[in-house]
Amino acid sequence: MEKVYLIGGLRSHIGLTGGLFKTVPAEELAAAVLQKIMAKYPFVLQADGLLCGNAVGTGGNITRLAALKAGLPATIPALTIDMQCASAAASIELAMTKIGSGMADILIAGGFESTSMQPVRVYAKADARYREEGFTVAQFSPDTTSAKAMLEGAERTCQKHGFTREELDAFAVRSHRLAKKAREENRLNEIVVSVFGSEGDEGIRDRMSPKLAARMPKLFTEEEVKELLAGDSASLPIKESVDKQNVLQEQKIAVMPLLTAANACLMNDGAAFVVLASRQAVEQYGLRPEAELLAGFEWGVDPRYSPEGAIETGAHLLQRCDLQPQQIDVFEYNEAFAVISALFARKYPKLTARYCPWGGALAYGHPYGASGAILLLHLWQELKQTEGKLGLLSIAGAGGLGTALLVKKC
């Protein structure tokens, strides 16, 4: 394959649902950041395409709409990719593949999301899933139509691996502390732009502490957790010899709900894009590469435990590249839930200082379709401002999926 270079990129501030960008449609938010991209990297007017993730938008090829609103030349094609939370990372991986195979020289990739302006959809009346009130969350797995499928998967994963509330909350506190420090030290100034009057990432809680985390509300009741775990032997904290189904039904054991408003990320709005180029484009336009994208990988896991996708996909990419974990200087895994952080710490206990060193999605937020690009932008800056050389990002997606990318600083 041809070499694929990261030239740069930008992201918006990240807002909470109903917050900074509460009246801004997703395509308008994307267009505003794309205009900043065009101003900073004018050669993108010669781009071969725009590839973007979007998970909960209005549908159609919303990336094309954003491109036209931004004023990109109409001759530049656009493609929307929906891999839910992994959409932007999948878009970047596809862009890397197109450039690496010689099909393109300059591509803009990333994603955008507005949960504030998320539409309500309605199944056809002939569909057994039809409800007059409609739905906002798509079906990700054949065994459930629950609107809380991702939260339920995170709770199951917490129970399966035997984590405690305190253990999970500690990662949430860590994330906010590190994000606050990065903000105070202006670590992200090069990649973050203000749009629609935004002044900062809205989700970082300066006062987050173990005491505050402990007071945050649980997202499930004990009975709801029991129902989730019923018949799911891998998740139950009792001996294999016991009839788990009956024990749960008879309520002979206590099940502590673990997911809370502190250790699960909130809903967010945001947009993020990176600019990728071939060696030919670098030479033609006199560009300065910031990093090289070495490899990408996608993997699937049991959708009932979708957070495991981030860990498993990252591990498989390392294996395919014949790398040991200790060779990676920075790991940017999407902290949609603290259980992902806890799984990383359990798998790589000696490498936790390299994990999301400036905080993760538990603090900044997780605008689904944009998060993979946000991870790459943060990873680039972390490698650039430290002595790091290799970085790995990985993100889980609804339905039990994951996308990972391996990056080398130039």
What is the rounded CA–CA span in Å between residue 341 and residue 175? 10
Arithmetic mean of pLDDT, 172-190: 98
According to the model, what pLDDT value does residue 253 have? Answer: 61
According to the model, what pLDDT value does residue 193 have? Answer: 98
Residues 292-346: tens digit of each pLDDT: 999 999 999 999 999 999 999 999 999 999 999 999 999 999 999 999 999 999 9
Tell whether the model's pLDDT for residue 246 goes beyond 70. no
3-state secondary structure (DSSP) of residue 357: coil
Fold of 4-120+264-409: Peroxisomal Thiolase; Chain A, domain 1 (3.40.47)
What is the rounded CA–CA span in Å between residue 197 and residue 280? 38
CA distances to 18, 77, 269, 388, 408 from 331, in Å: 31, 32, 24, 11, 12
Arithmetic mean of pLDDT, 38-59: 97
Confidence label for 255 from pLDDT (cuts 50, 70 and 90): confident
Whether the model pTM is above 0.85? yes
Residues 363-391: tens digit of each pLDDT: 999 999 999 999 999 999 999 999 899 99
Tokens 């699960």, residue located: 264
Write 185-189 long-range contacts (CB < 8 A, 24+). Answer: 187/358, 187/381, 187/385, 188/358, 188/378, 188/381
Mean pLDDT over all residues of the chain?
Answer: 94
Tell whether the model's pLDDT for residue 247 goes beyond 50. no
- Of 8-17, 179-188, 243-252, which range is least confident? 243-252
48 against 253, higher pLDDT: 48
Residues 193-219: tens digit of each pLDDT: 999 999 999 999 999 999 999 999 999
Amino acid at 14: I
According to the model, what pLDDT value does residue 5 have? Answer: 98
Q: Half-sphere exposure (CA, 13 Å, Cβ side) for 83?
A: 32
100 contacts 1 by C-beta, under 8 angstroms = yes
339 contacts 313 by C-beta, under 8 angstroms = no
Residues 264-280: tens digit of each pLDDT: 999 999 999 999 999 99
According to the model, what pLDDT value does residue 232 have? Answer: 59
107 contacts 363 by C-beta, under 8 angstroms = no
According to the model, what pLDDT value does residue 16 have? Answer: 98
Tell whether the model's pLDDT for residue 92 goes beyond 90. yes
Tell whether the model's pLDDT for residue 182 goes beyond 80. yes
